[in-house]
Structure 1
């Protein structure tokens, strides 16, 4: 049986209580990050801004599919973009989402290595 690590064990409630708007935004972020390709895009852009061709070289998908996912992340303000000539460069705009993805992926990877999953 999987036992949560100290970092994932429930903590006593803090003084502040999140509002419904906070829970709504959290649900939106989880929904947005619910596909592996979007998590891969975030991971790829953690190393700096890249254009679509550079991102495609790191993620196995088609250009139209990648563009659709990039646009969703841009519309959600997770990514920012800048046109330079005929290329569009994407970069991280919301580092809270990056921290969330890194924490979750690290936890899953450590559980896989230790055989907990």
Structure 2
């Protein structure tokens, strides 16, 4: 008789982490942002040119992604802005 395959029990922390990831990816705008960043570094203006949303909405979603450590944000001076730094978004590994 064959023994049943050994099962691994996953802890609650694993399910909570997966649920957080699914929640993060449940918004179409965030998926579009991630897709756009897969093609290279973009600033907020470039993302707004590709994704049909308002600047405040974009900022809210970028903030959510940054808190989730799915993107790395570096502040660089944007010569075109002259005064305000532009956020440069670089794709980074999810943790």
TM-score band by shorter chain is 0.7 to 0.9
Secondary structure of 1:57's match?
helix
Q: Which structure carries more strand by proportion?
A: 2
For the aligned residue pairs, the C-alpha RMSD in angstroms reads 1.8
Q: What residue in structure 1 maps to residue 22 of structure 2? A: 30
Residue segments in structure 2 that go unaligned for 5+ positions in a row? 78-84
TM-score by length of 2: 0.79
TM-score by length of 1: 0.65
Q: What residue in structure 1 maps to residue 91 of structure 2? A: 92
Structure number, greater radius of gyration:
2
Residue segments in structure 1 that go unaligned for 5+ positions in a row? 1-12, 97-117
Count the aligned residue pairs.
84
- Displaced runs of 4 or more, over 2 A: 13-19
Q: CA deviation at 1:88?
A: 0.6
Q: Which structure carries more helix by proportion?
A: 1
